[in-house]
């Protein structure tokens, strides 16, 4: 408790799932946390629980991005927001459904990472981008989801390169969570793949091993604070594992 007193954090996607877990973990560790999400009610509930500062709105809106970053000047920015992927093989989907996560997940990373470089955030600031293990393994029953998550990882790497090229002193890290029954989105994904493969939900859940929960995701971000170089980590129920 109190290890992060003096840390000003912004968590984008704080209203649910891993984002909510990250916001709670940071606040409980003493950080001042600003939560961004579409769901104002979820942010209000989180403010009542752990004292975050709510900033409701569309995480892909560049005006909101500028307002939050210039108004709060975080030293830690965590990007978790994303859309629920469509269920279905790519040839069964129209383009709008297929590209859902490109319009939300990729746009979110594009706007916040770009703004962090242009502002820029203060030297020593850290940015953590939640991608997905689907970026490594593919996800054939969720449209363009895997490709969008791979692009998020690329954008974080590009941002790290730009920081180094311009002497900004910023650290950009990508976290790739595994599929898990520990969130609503993960449970729906497991159901989709159960229907696709003929396996039961219980069989797939058991094969995935220890579930990754929002609390574990939050603890992982706290663990990453202070690491000096940007990198990528697989995140599962047992915690973080470096990818490079």
Residue 2 has pLDDT above 80, yes or no: no
pLDDT score of 133 = 95
Residue 208 has pLDDT above 60, yes or no: yes
* Percent of the chain surpassing pLDDT 90: 81
Is residue 230 in a domain? yes
pLDDT score of 1 = 54
Is residue 89 in a domain? yes
Is residue 96 in a domain? yes
Is residue 191 in a domain? no
Domain that holds residue 81: 8-183+212-242
Is residue 205 in a domain? no
pLDDT score of 186 = 79
DSSP assignment string, the chain: --TTTT-EEEEETTTSHHHHHHHHHHHHTT-EEEEEES-HHHHHHHHHHH--EEEES-TT-HHHHHHHHHHH--SEEEE---PPPPPB-GGGS-HHHHTHHIIIIIHHHHHHHHHHHHTTPPTT-EEEEE--THHHH--TTBTTHHHHHHHHHHHHHHHHHHHHHHT---EEEEEEEPP-TTSHHHHHHHHHHHHHHS--HHHHHHHH-SPP-HHHHHHHHHHHTT--S--EEEEETTEEEE--
Q: pLDDT band at residue 72, thresholds of 50, 70 and 90?
A: very high
Is residue 49 in a domain? yes
Q: What is the CATH number of the domain that holds 90?
A: 3.40.50.720
pLDDT score of 3 = 87
Residue 195 has pLDDT above 90, yes or no: no
pLDDT score of 228 = 66
Per the structure, the count of domains in the chain is 1
> Which range among 40-49, 79-88, 206-215 shows the weakest confidence by mean pLDDT?
206-215
Is residue 193 in a domain? no
């Amino acid at each position: 408790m109190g290890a992060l007193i003096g840390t000003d954090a912004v968590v984008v996607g704080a209203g649910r799932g891993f984002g909510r877990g990250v916001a709670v973990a940071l606040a409980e560790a003493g950080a001042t946390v600003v939560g961004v999400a579409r769901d104002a009610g979820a942010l209000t509930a989180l403010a009542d629980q752990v004292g975050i500062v709510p900033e409701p709105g569309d995480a892909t809106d560049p005006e909101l991005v500028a307002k939050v970053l210039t108004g709060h000047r975080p030293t830690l920015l965590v990007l978790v927001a994303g859309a629920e992927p469509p269920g279905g093989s790519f040839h069964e989907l129209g383009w709008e459904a297929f590209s859902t996560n490109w319009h939300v997940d990729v746009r979110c990373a594009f706007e916040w990472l770009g703004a962090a470089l242009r502002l820029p955030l203060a030297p020593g600031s850290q940015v953590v981008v939640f991608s997905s293990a689907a970026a490594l393994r593919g996800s054939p029953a969720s449209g363009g989801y895997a490709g969008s998550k791979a692009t998020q990882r690329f954008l974080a790497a590009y941002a790290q390169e730009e920081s180094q090229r311009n002497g900004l002193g910023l650290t950009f890290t990508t976290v790739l969570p595994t599929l898990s029954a520990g969130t609503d989105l993960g449970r729906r994904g497991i159901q989709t793949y159960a229907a696709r493969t003929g396996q039961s939900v219980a069989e797939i859940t058991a094969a995935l091993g220890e579930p990754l929960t929002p609390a574990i995701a939050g603890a992982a971000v706290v663990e990453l604070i202070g690491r000096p170089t940007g990198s990528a980590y697989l995140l599962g129920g047992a915690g973080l594992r470096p990818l490079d």
